[in-house]
A and B are shown apart, each in its own frame.
Chain A
Amino acid sequence: MRYFIHLIAILALFLPTLAEAYDVLIVQSSRNSAYEEVLKGFRNTLRSSERLIVLTDYAEADIVRIVREDQPRLVLALGDRALKATKNVRQTPIIAMMALGIHDKSSARTNLTGVGMYIAPRPYLNLCQNMNAKRVGVIYNAAKSEWYLRQARQEARRQNIELVLREVSSPKETLSQLSSMAGVVDAVWMLPDSVAITRETLEAYMRFSHENRIPLVSFADAYLGLGAAAALELDRLDLGRQAGEMASALLNGTSVSKLPLSQPRRAVYKTNRSVLKNLGVILDQTETINISSSE
């Protein structure tokens, strides 16, 4: 039975190779609307031939072999799983998106570029400024977010905001580190750090905000419903366009080394008005607006 499934998978993967060659191999972690939105932006920018592989549709997909067989000019990896799947693709340029692990040291390769998930610190700190938060608490894992915190510290100094930093090496430390920030911060800035924020510790952030009446500034609107006061979320369509521009440059002969890992250009600003009202926070922007950032 297992051999039969493998046979079907292999046939499904290699039969399309009988068709004509393509430029971009799109490796998508799973099927969801966020990836579709990103792809829509990508395709709007880049009109090229492509092949799409959704990893969750296959029991086991050998991307390296597909790349070797199909010889695409470019690989577009959507999500962390797709990034991992293309780990052993060494020659073909890879553009990664929607992957938190793109900043990990382990992921660093010469043929890899892409757009990170971290929105530049400036709009976050601007938002904190608008909330009159002069002391902003941040919990982070050095391996995941140290590179981002360097930018954040610079921007904080520029805006005269004090960053109260708490480093955690495992999620279990988050609780005590959060407790230690009680009374010493005016707002908590949640980073998309998979160690500092987990499903288990998420409640601690929300409870901390509620118990200490401190607003949470998040990176995803999914947390607004759970108690975060405001969020700066990626503009996925623009993220796709951004990746499309990078792909277009690569296909036109630009070297990967000349296209470093970039940050998202645009973010969508969203708030939970009820939480803001309950916390007594008044924002200048009363409507949801787009905040642009640039490298």
Chain B
Amino acid sequence: MRLSYLKYLQTSFRFKLFAIFTVLTLLITLIFSVVYIRSEIDSQKTRAEQRASLLATHLAGNISLPLFAENRAIMKQILKEQAALYPDISAITIRNEDKRILVDFVRTPTTRPKNELTKLVDVISNPLGVSPEDAMTGDSSPPIAIIGSMQLSLDISDMTVKIRELTYKSLVIAFFFWLVVAVLSYLVLQKVTQSFKTFLEGLETIKAGNYSITIPVERNDEPGRAAAAVNGLAAALRSRDEENSRLQEELVNALKMEVQEEKKQLMAKLIQTNRMTFLGLLAASMAHEINNPNGSIRLAGLYLSRAWLDALPLLKRNADEEGDFSLGGIPFSKANREITSCCATIERNTELISKVVHDLRSYSLGERYEFNSDVNVNQVIYNAISTVRAYGRHGDMQVSVESQADLPLIYGSRHQLEQVVINLLLNALQAMPNVTGTVTITSSLNQESDKVDITISDQGSGIAPNDLERLFEPFYSTRLDKGGSGLGLFVTNFLVSQHHGTLDFSSELGKGTTVKVSLPTPTSHP
């Protein structure tokens, strides 16, 4: 308990001030007391010295005539009278100019006082007097004539007692003065530091996190103004805290809603992916189902074509011999070309069906991951355009192709590159407003970088700068509400990077977008 109180005192501003003030006051009081006592002692001594000098001079003046006449009786009488007048005279010794003692007066021969102040003065003749000759001739008088000396002893025991009393009184007064000042200073400090104490308590409460407290402002001094400022600060913090709580709650709610929305979108994407997977499987199955009859039709067509070719000379001869005849409802002369054409159509279309089915099957079975060193970029572009055209609607939109004929073959996956071009082309077509305009695809060899560039430019609405920064993020799409998966450019970027290529977008709102795919040639790619 005592230790904690001492620690409290060590950290108490009020106690420190009080201690400093009282110590300083004590020191100042002591210094002043000592200075005062010393000056009083000096003053007493000076006064005693002056008194002794004056008394001695006075007595010397009185005895100058009897001393000159060496009249001991008169001198003793004068000294007796003077000793009666001045009780502190303890002894007087008078000598003539030959230093011979004429009178030795001692007040109490048996007991001399302990403290005596002795003064020796010369006894001189009247300085105003002039000799008869000087008086008559006007000559100046010679210097003052010394006719003897007088030694005066004063009893200064009283002065010693007075000095002692003065010292005691001064110290007692100084002590009471210091005591009164200390008490007054404590009261004043208590009053003055009350503001600090209140302020500090308020600060500690605020420090503990309670911003709702208001520190009382007791007066308009520094702590009071500081308390007012801290109150304002605490109010601002309280307001900010409330605002933070509200915003946090709103954020939580928003996050909850966003998560639900994203969940919905994700589910839609999952469903879409599932549907595509199913579609792929369906396509593979359907290819198998189509391929068999198509093969039969083709074989039949080949047989019919071969049979027609075999039968045709016979039929021509018969026609020549017997005249034209009807075949399948039309004259042989016309049916001859039609049937030949039909056979060719059957062969061509079945081959086309076979090719389409093969492609569909290859796509769905994942053969696109095969990398070959003979990939023709122009062929990739044409295949992609064919696929997109087969895909469906692009209204009045035109796809213009400007390809460089002698592009070098590159190392890569034809299907992946087709998928890249298809994605970019579809994006370009989807970006065209009013479903009109031209998408230009160019292929070229950049001599400087030794890379094959595929550039796809549209006249669409362009991409906003904020969207441009997030193009390659997965599931980010401006067309999520129109069936966009947000995976197209993510996958495209991935595929291009698989080919050690780069994908650059440049876009201007309202004017269109240009995408450049740069793919390394075998000479540039190790």
Contacts and interface: CB of A to CB of B under 8 A. Distances in A.
Interface of A: 29-30, 32-35, 79-80, 98, 100, 117, 171-176, 192-194, 197-204, 207, 218-220, 222-223, 226, 233-234
Contacts of B134: 222
B68 A220 contact: no
A80 B68 CA distance: 25
B66 interface: yes
Given A32-B140, A220-B132, A234-B136, 13 more contacts: A34-B136, A174-B69, A175-B65, A175-B69, A193-B132, A194-B131, A198-B131, A200-B64, A200-B147, A202-B126, A203-B126, A223-B130, A223-B135
A21 to B, nearest CB: 30
Interface of B: 64-66, 68-71, 74, 125-126, 128-141, 145, 147
B137 A34 contact: yes
Nearest to B128: A226
Nearest to A234: B136
A128 B126 CA distance: 27
Given A199-B130, A202-B126, A226-B128, A79 B137 contact: yes
Given A32-B138, A32-B139, A203 B129 contact: yes
Contacts of B130: 199, 202, 222-223
A202 B133 CA distance: 13
Nearest to A198: B131
A70 B137 CA distance: 28
Contact of A172 (B64, B69, B133, B135): B69
Summarize A's interface: helix, strand, loop or mixed.
helix
Given A193-B132, A194-B131, A194-B132, A98 B66 contact: no
A80 B137 CA distance: 10
Nearest to B130: A222
Contacts of B71: 175-176
A226 B131 CA distance: 13
A76 to B, nearest CB: 15
Contacts of A218: 135
Contact of B66 (A30, A175, A197, A220): A175
A207 B128 CA distance: 13
Given A34-B138, A176-B69, A234-B136, A203 B64 contact: yes
A267 to B, nearest CB: 11
A218 B132 CA distance: 10
Contacts of A175: 65-66, 68-69, 71, 74
Q: Which one of B65, B128, B129 has the greatest number of beta carbons of chain A within 10 Å?
A: B129
Nearest to B141: A199
A256 B267 CA distance: 174
- 5 cross-chain pairs, A with B, having the tightest CB-CB distances, nearest first: A220-B135, A202-B129, A175-B69, A34-B138, A203-B126
Contact of A200 (B74, B126, B135): B126
Contacts of A194: 131-133
Nearest to A101: B133
Contact of A199 (B66, B129, B138): B129
A80 B138 contact: no
Given A192-B132, A197-B131, A203 B137 contact: no
B358 to A, nearest CB: 156
Contacts of A174: 69
Contacts of A219: 132, 135-136
A200 B138 contact: no
Nearest to B124: A200
Contacts of B140: 32
B136 A200 contact: no
B145 A199 contact: yes
A102 to B, nearest CB: 11
A32 B131 contact: no
Contacts of B125: 198-200, 203
Contact of A32 (B64, B69, B137, B145): B137
A223 B129 CA distance: 8
B65 A204 contact: yes
Given A199-B130, A202-B129, A226-B129, A220 B69 contact: no
30 contacts: A29-B139, A32-B140, A33-B138, A34-B138, A79-B139, A100-B133, A100-B136, A172-B68, A172-B69, A175-B74, A176-B71, A192-B132, A192-B135, A193-B132, A197-B132, A199-B126, A199-B129, A199-B131, A199-B141, A200-B68, A200-B125, A200-B147, A203-B64, A219-B136, A220-B135, A220-B136, A222-B130, A222-B135, A222-B138, A234-B136
Contacts of A226: 128-129
Contacts of B69: 172-176
Nearest to B138: A34
Nearest to B70: A172
A200 B130 CA distance: 9
A202 B64 CA distance: 11
A231 B440 CA distance: 156
Contacts of A198: 125, 129, 131
Nearest to A97: B137
Contacts of B131: 194, 197-199
A107 B147 CA distance: 30
Nearest to B133: A100
A219 B131 CA distance: 12
A234 B145 CA distance: 28
A30 B135 contact: no
A205 to B, nearest CB: 9
B133 A200 contact: no
A273 B74 CA distance: 32
A219 B136 CA distance: 8
A96 B101 CA distance: 44
